Amino acid sequence: MSPPERREELLAIAAQVFAAQGYNATTVRKIADAAGMLAGSLYYHFDSKESMLDEILSGFLDELWARYDAVLSAGLGPRETLEALVTESFREIDRHLDAVAIYQKEAKHLGAQPHFAYLVESQQKFEKAWLGTLERGVSAKVFRADLDVRLTYRFVRDTVWVAASWYRPGGRHSPEEIARQYLSMVLEGIALRGS
Provide the pLDDT for residue 192.
77
* Count of beta carbons in the 10 Å neighbourhood of residue 86: 22
Residue, of 121 and 191, whose pLDDT is higher: 121
Provide the pLDDT for residue 194.
64
Provide the pLDDT for residue 191.
79
**pLDDT, the chain, mean:** 93
3-state SS of 42-85 is: HCCCCCCHHHHHHHHHHHHHHHHHHHHHHHHCCCCCHHHHHHHH
| pLDDT above 60 for 1 | no
Task: Provide mean pLDDT across the span 81-97.
Answer: 97
| pLDDT above 90 for 58 | yes
**DSSP letter (8 states) at residue 147:** -
For residues 72 and 55, is the Cβ–Cβ distance under 8 A?
no
Residues constituting the chain: 195
Provide the pLDDT for residue 195.
54
